[in-house]
Structure 1
Amino acid sequence: MTSPAAPGSWRAPFDGDLGDDLQLALRLADAADAVAMARFDAADLDVQLKADASHVTEADLATERAIRGILSAERPADGVFGEEYGSSGDSARQWIIDPIDGTANYLKGIPMWTTLIALVVDGVPRVGVASQPAIGRRWWAASGHGAWTNAPGGQARRLAVSAVDRLDQASVSFQSVAQWDGVGRSGDLLRLTRAVWRDRGYGDAWPYMLLAEGRLEFVAEFGVKEYDIAALVPIIHEAGGRFTDIDGADDLAARSSLATNGVLHDRFLSLLNTAPDEGESR
């Protein structure tokens, strides 16, 4: 079993054409949507606890199997890393899958959950699809192909981050107060919320897509795994934003994420990594 590919520079240019891979990723999302929606809000949904005390449903497992089945047939030489079935293959090209990001929402019948599909090449996320079939939304991107979403009328609409360049005009999202408190950074979160215009905890993958649409300027989390963020990176980048870990590095394995509209990225990094004043908790 191999681990996810080592990180490369997320802003490095790519001289290949990822069009076929993007089309495959979209077909993978179609298949995943069909499987996941078939059991969404089912009264008899099977739910189990994993070793880490997180939930897994029969739909998580079936959705990942459906994606892996197609990849096995169409990209047999590529590696695969998924939340539920781990890592297989040894290749510079690796598909990273979260079959249902937001399982807690899924099992409660709340429609804000997402299938995340990424292609990472030499450690750099190059293709990303985020699909939310319960609300009829999807976002996708590939390096050099732009970032897109399905507009209400059905046509594709190109994404672009906002041009907001002042912290006091920025709208931000974070996963939860408990998450920041759990890593000893509740003081940083409080400092952030005092510096910006508006803060909300939208949660999971959706706020990253709101950022790519130009509706937010900042999203950050702790405790994220490669499959939580790999698909989001190319969407944010191709929309004109910036994506790093909380310390500013390009590292899928860092267990933290910071996505911004790019213009404010360095100012957010400075704000979050400034030593607290005397008497102020971190």
Structure 2
Amino acid sequence: MSQNLPDIAFFHKLAEVASKQTLPRYRSSDNLNINTKPKEGFRFDPVTDADREAERAIRALINEAYPEHAIIGEEFGTTGSGPIKWVLDPVDGTRPFLCGIPVWGTLIGLLYKNRAVMGMMSQPFTNELFWADGKQAWTKGPLGEMQLHTRKNVTLSQAILHTTSAELAPNYPQVNFKELSEQTLMTRFGGECYAMAMLAAGQIDLCFEFSLQPYDIVALIPIIEQAGGVVTTLTGQRAESGGTILASANAVLHEQALKVLNF
């Protein structure tokens, strides 16, 4: 792997500068300026100054420390080129952010030769961080700092399934989500990126999303994989480019769930 990759301490710095833009605007109407942007399948896709200013702050720090790195961000697109690319979602879960529900997070991912190798999910309101350093996945919060591990021996009938919203299900008739939901222990909704972090932490076993962009998933791929989980598209391919995505606690469960979804 390239010796020019940053250490994980730099990810912590990026999360900190982002939180200085998001937290003062959370559960507050000050400097929020809610707008909407076009998104297929949604009547309302919000964007706020929290999204824009957090991404600006992250970009500024990256450009200062690593001017040779490319950056892909939800709000300001792609700048630069090369084998090392940062992938940013300054507020993943803007809807719960607007509702005051703390399942949103700042996603900071790193691609090396188009493969997700490091990542950070920061939830500053709950004072939690989830990250992958290239070898292992970790969390730090009110319960202390610990290594993340997915559940290894859970069966499909025992698995907890999560999807952020079933709103898009009618647009994907080829996806057998209803059957998967019926074969698992229970299904929960609305967790956004926090649900993916809980999969890495061994609290959730399957996370399925109908349509993700790269900035929605790149940061989370190494966190889940380095905790022992699996993340692919519905066709079993690498998930860095987004699309219809399944994340699972282990390889056996992943194969079982893919068979049901693709039936």
Which structure 2 residues correspond to residues 205-244 of structure 1 after superposition, within 5 A?
Answer: 205-244=193-232
2:104 maps to what in 1?
A: 113
Q: Alignment partner of 2:204: what SS? A: coil
Give 2:71's aligned amino acid: V
- Please give the alpha-carbon distance, in whole angstroms, between the structure 2 residues aligned to 1:32 and 1:234: 20
- Counterpart residue number, 1:21: 7
Distance 1:181 1:164 in 2: 32
Alignment counterpart, residue 139 of structure 2, candidates 138, 141, 149: 149
Alpha-carbon distance in 1 for matches of 2:162, 2:38: 29
- One of 34, 39, 62 as aligned partner of 1:47: 34
2:261 to 255, 260, 272: 272
With 102-111 and 126-135 compared, the bigger mean Cα shift is at 102-111
Which aligned pairs between 1:1-282 and structure 2 lie closer than 5 A? 15-16=1-2, 20-44=6-30, 45-52=32-39, 53-144=44-135, 146-153=136-143, 155-185=144-174, 188-262=176-250, 263-274=252-263
Greater relative contact order, per chain length (Cα 8 Å cut-off, separation 6+)? 1
Q: Is the 8 A contact 1:35 1:62 kept in 2?
A: yes
| 1:131 to 1:40, Cα distance in 2 relative to 1, 3 A | same
Q: Deviations over 1:125-177 (max 9, x none)?
A: 11100011112211000222x10001424x31000000234111111101222
Q: Is the 8 A contact 2:174 2:262 kept in 1?
A: no
User: Compared with structure 1, are the counterparts of its residues 35 and 42 closer, same or farther at alpha carbon in structure 2 (3 Å cutoff)?
Assistant: same
Three-state SS of the structure 2 residue aligned to 1:264 is: helix
Q: List per-residue Cα deviations over 1:231-274 (Å, max 9, x = no partner).
A: 00000011000110112111322412110012311111111111
Separation (CA, whole Å) in 1 of partners of 2:112 and 2:130: 20
How many residue pairs align between the two structures? 257
Amino acid of the residue matched to residue 265 of structure 1? H
Coordinate RMSD, CA, aligned: 1.7
Secondary structure class of the residue paired with 2:241: coil
1:185, CA displacement in angstroms? 4.5
Q: 2: distance between equivalents of 1:61 and 1:192?
A: 37
In structure 1, C-alpha distance between the alignment counterparts of 2:159 and 2:34, rounded to whole Å: 39
Correspondence for 1:10: none
What do residues 13-60 of structure 1 show as CA deviations (whole Å, max 9, x unaligned)? xx4568743221111001101111011122242111224352110111
CA distance in 2, matches of 1:38, 1:248: 40
What is the rounded CA distance, in whole Å, between the counterparts of 2:105 and 2:86 in structure 1?
A: 16
Alpha-carbon distance in structure 2 between the residues aligned to 1:125 and 1:203: 22
Which structure 1 segments of 5+ residues have no match? 1-14, 275-282
Residue equivalent to 1:8 = none
Distance 1:38 1:48 in 2: 18
- Matched residues in 2 for 1:18 and 1:192: separation? 42
Residue 178 of structure 1 aligns to a residue whose secondary structure is coil
Bigger Cα Rg: 1
TM-score normalised by structure 1 residue count: 0.86
